[in-house]
Structure 1
């Protein structure tokens, strides 16, 4: 191999090493910043379709629970009928005007979180920490 070719190969491998190192560091930073949310156990509930309080509208939603402890996520599976009942009763008591705004959805999340934690009989730090709506359609 010629001297110029050797220098080119050396420069190219140095460049690729720097690119790989930079992307690995960026990946580490991204995973460190999102590690609390990404590592938190979740429990996805089956979809809900409920009549709202006015009976002329219904809500279709998919709910995922972010749990404080893996044991609580396992407990959700065991107590699924009780949890689904609590969610259905809460949702069906709402009027569609309450759920149209972001503030109304935040109030609903807090209400569901409290009711599900009561059903789970868990400590506050171990139970439902947050609730995510994957789908939320009012018709």
Structure 2
């Protein structure tokens, strides 16, 4: 019983800490349009806290998407439920060992990129071109 309470408190504190540190900017970055002049449009997703496949470990992450064009940011906004679903399903299918090293994270980035592009119905080169983890904690 104490273990479950401890885990619950830990997850809540991770989520609240992330929300406080990220402030209002974590929902979706409208700076994607502003960054169009520099050639890199971005979309920042809300934080994710998911059970990993083994259910005894959790992953907390904040993900930023690099988009091929600034116009794609509107498509991401409209498709946000599908995008979040694709990310959650992908992350929760992983074992902690699969994503702890750099090689595992690079494979995860490619899988997420492919699944998000599929969710928003675009070809890989026309959609999300890269993914950046701003936070990546496994507990």
Residues 1:53 and 2:53 aligned together: yes
SS at match of 2:125: coil
The TM-score with structure 1 as length reference comes to 0.72
Q: Runs ≥4 in structure 1, deviation > 4 angstroms?
A: none
Does 2:131 correspond to 1:123?
no
Q: 1: CA distance between counterparts of 2:122 and 2:71?
A: 10
**Is the 1:60–1:137 Cα contact (8 Å) retained in structure 2?**
yes
RMSD, matched Cα: 1.8
Residue segments in structure 2 that go unaligned for 5+ positions in a row? 1-34
For 1:124 and 1:48, the matched residues in 2 are separated by 23
Count of matched residue pairs = 105
Q: Secondary structure at the match of 1:70?
A: coil
Q: Normalized against structure 2, the TM-score is what?
A: 0.72
Contact 1:72 1:122 in 2 (8 A): no
| Higher-Rg member (1/2) | 1
1:44-123 equivalent positions in 2, closer than 5 A: 44-123=44-123
Deviations 1:2-41 (A, max 9, x none): xxxxxxxxxxxxxxxxxxxxxxxxxxxxxxxxx99x4310
Per-residue deviation at 1:123? 3.1
Asked if structure 1 preserves the Cα contact closer than 8 Å seen for 2:79 and 2:120, the reply is yes
Q: Which residue of 2 aligns with 1:11?
A: none
Q: What CA distance in whole angstroms lies between the structure 2 residues aligned with 1:99 and 1:118? A: 22
Residue in 1 aligned with 2:31? none
1:51 Cα deviation after fit: 0.2
Distance in 2 (alpha carbons) for counterparts of 1:124 and 1:134: 22
Instruction: Give me the whole-angstrom Cα distance separating, in 1, the residues matched to 2:111 and 2:67.
Output: 16
Displacement of 1:126 in angstroms is 2.1
What are structure 1's unaligned runs of at least 5 residues? 1-34
